[in-house]
Structures are given as structure tokens and as C-alpha cells.
Amino acid sequence: MTDSSPAPEPDRFAGLPKLLPQVSHAPYSPDVSPTQAAQQYYDIMAQRRSVRFFADTPVPQETIEWIVRTAGTAPSGAHKQPWRFVCVSDPALKCEIRTAAEDEEREFYGRRASRRWLEDLSPLGTDSNKPFIEIAPWIIVVFALARTDDGGQVYYREESVGIACGMLISAIHCAGLVTLTHTPSPMKFLQRVLHRPDHERAFLVLPVGYPAETCTVPELHRKPLEEIMVVNRPAGGAADRAADGGVGGSER
């Protein structure tokens, strides 16, 4: 009799690190219902705007520390926490960052950006001048770690750092401060100016401070819930069938 069963797999789990000790989860329980709590958070976050006009009013380092701590609570691939938040308040350093960022931005607006891109940006009134880099009391430059500090692998780097940036932005807003996601491109110069090691890649620049008294923002509209949320209606549902020629379209 022939044995057709496959050869046993070598044990791929042999010798792997032990499961972490498990501790009991302390749930966060707001003293209102989840719906009320979710709505209250929405009411706060709906007031957030990207701000380009800052006051030079100082913000204590301690405030920035709490904001960065919050960003550091973000989930990350295999809990590798592949981020560094470089916080700059030194005027000379901010000046150096502004000069280098504006050099890149002049290239962008003057040559690199496609006609379509310029068209899409023009209603927002952005250009290569970035005075906010010097005026805002703090600049947080977020770096993504290509490897952990001890040379280990990281996973889902962009997703992890993107989530942390979202939480950072939320923390800045909840602190009563404003920010703007600034993306000078390419950002390589930030590694040089800020003396960051090779495994750190600049990801996002966020000036943080109070809005200028005369601050304005463009009148923008956010997509309504119906446009951003789908519940239990995968593609190919009734609405799509109607658009395709009605129910049972292929037989008619």
C-alpha cells in the first residue's frame, strides 16, 4: 500500500519568541452613550481646518510632548512603532527648513507640477512661499523608520505612520491648536538639515501653533455621509443593476 499523505511540514513555529504575558484590558468608558460620545468627537473634529496663517504666540514644549505622546499610541505593524517626531522650535533651524523647503517648492510650482496638479491646487491659493514654517512656534517633522533603531524589520510602514499622523493631527486640534500637512517634495533635505540617521525618511511636516487673528481658510465642503459610507451594499447591488440596465440586465 502506498502512502499518499504529504511529508510533514517542518514546524515553522519552532523556536519563535514566546507569547507576551496577557494583561486584562481596561476599557475606556465615556460617561455618555457610544453614539453621544461619537457625536461629541465628531463635533470637535468637524471644526478642524488646515490653517496656513499662524500667530507667533509661543506654545510650551509640554503641550507638544502630550500631543506627540498621543500620536505614539497609534497602532502599527507588529507593534514596531516605526516613527520619529522631530519637534523644532529653534528659529535658526526653522529658517533653514523654510529656505530648503521653499527651494523645493519653487521647483515644484515652477517645473515639476503637472498642469492638472496646478489646476487642482489653484483654488486653495498655495504657492512656494512658506512663511508659516518660521512663524509657527513649532514644526513637527514626522519621520518614518525604514528599519527599527536596532536594525529590525518594520511592517506596513506607510500605513502605521499615516495612522500616527492622523492621531497627531487630532491631538493638535483637541489641544486648541492648528496645523497644516505640509509636503515639500522631495523631502530628503529634512534628513540632512535635522541630522537624522539613514533609516529615517521624512514623511510629513506639520507647523503647530495658534491661528493668526486675521486667519482665513478657503470655503470648502466635506462630502456628506451618503457619499463616504456604504452599508451592506456591495458593488452589483440594486442601484448598480439599475444603472447597468435593470435587474437581470444580461437577459433583457
| Contacts with ligand IYR, residue ranges (CB under 6 A) | 105, 108, 121, 126, 182-185
Question: Shortest gap between Cβ of 104 and ligand IYR (angstroms)?
Answer: 8
User: How many other CB atoms sit within 10 Å of the CB of residue 74?
Assistant: 17
Question: Shortest gap between Cβ of 198 and ligand IYR (angstroms)?
Answer: 24
Question: Shortest gap between Cβ of 151 and ligand IYR (angstroms)?
Answer: 32
User: How many other CB atoms sit within 10 Å of the CB of residue 52?
Assistant: 22
Cα(6)–Cα(182) distance, integer angstroms: 56
* Residue 115 CB-half CA count within 13 A: 0
Question: Shortest gap between Cβ of 182 and ligand IYR (angstroms)?
Answer: 5
Q: Which amino acid, one-letter code, is at 195?
A: H
Question: Shortest gap between Cβ of 122 and ligand IYR (angstroms)?
Answer: 11
Q: Which is nearer to ligand IYR, 76 or 191 (CB)?
A: 191
Strand partners, 205: 141, 182
Q: What is the sign, positive or negative, of the torsion defined by CA atoms of 73, 77, 80, 85?
A: negative
Question: Shortest gap between Cβ of 75 and ligand IYR (angstroms)?
Answer: 26
Q: Which is nearer to ligand IYR, 121 or 215 (CB)?
A: 121
Q: Which is nearer to ligand IYR, 109 or 156 (CB)?
A: 109
Q: Is 178 left (phi over 0), alpha (psi -120 to 50) or beta?
A: beta
DSSP state of 10: P
How many residues in total does the chain contain?
252
Residue partners of 30: CB distance under 8 A and separation at least 6: 36, 37
Do the Cβ atoms of 214 and 104 come closer than 8 Å?
A: no
Residue with cell 442601484: 239
Q: Which is nearer to ligand IYR, 67 or 205 (CB)?
A: 205
Q: Which is nearer to ligand IYR, 157 or 182 (CB)?
A: 182
Q: What is the sign, positive or negative, of the torsion defined by CA atoms of 10, 12, 13, 16?
A: positive
Cα–Cα distances (Å) from 47 to 26, 37, 198, 207, 222, in that order, read 30, 16, 38, 18, 11
Question: Shortest gap between Cβ of 27 and ligand IYR (angstroms)?
Answer: 38
Q: Which amino acid, one-letter code, is at 14?
A: A
